[in-house]
A and B are shown apart, each in its own frame.
Chain A
Amino acid sequence: MATLNYSRIRRTGRWVDVRRRKLGMWAYALNRITGIGLVVYLYLHLGVLSMLAHGQSSWDSFTALARSPFYLALDVILLAIILIHGLNGIRVALTGFDIGVRVQKRLFVILMLIAAAALVVAAAKIFAV
Chain B
Amino acid sequence: MNMLEVPLEIFRYKEGEPPHHDTFTVQVPETAHVIDAIDAVWAMHDRSLVFRRACHHSSCGSCSLRVNGVEMLPCITRVKDVWDGRAPLRLDPLRNFPVVSDLVVDLSSFFQRMSAAEMTITCDAESSLPLSVDDFAVSKIPSRAVELPVNLSRFNRFENCIECAICMSACPTMATDEKFFGPAALAAIFRARQKTDSPADVAHLLSLADGEHGVWRCHSAFECTAACPQAVDPAGKIMALRRELITRRFKKR
Contact = CB atoms under 8 A, between A and B. Distances in A.
A21 interface: yes
Given A97-B243, A101-B239, A102-B236, A3 B98 contact: yes
B140 to A, nearest CB: 42
B83 to A, nearest CB: 14
Interface stretch (A8-16, A57-65, A72-80): A8-16
A2 B99 CA distance: 9
A100 to B, nearest CB: 9
A14 B175 contact: yes
B106 A14 contact: no
A91 interface: yes
Interface size class of B (residues with CB under 8 A): 20 to 34
Contact of A21 (B106, B223, B239, B240): B223
Contact of B95 (A14, A15, A29, A101): A14
B15 interface: yes
A24 B221 contact: yes
A54 interface: no
Contacts of A34: none
Contacts of A11: 96, 175-176
Contacts of A101: 235-236, 239
Interface of B: 13, 15-16, 19, 68-70, 95-96, 98-100, 106, 172, 175-176, 219-223, 225-226, 235-236, 239-240, 242-243, 246
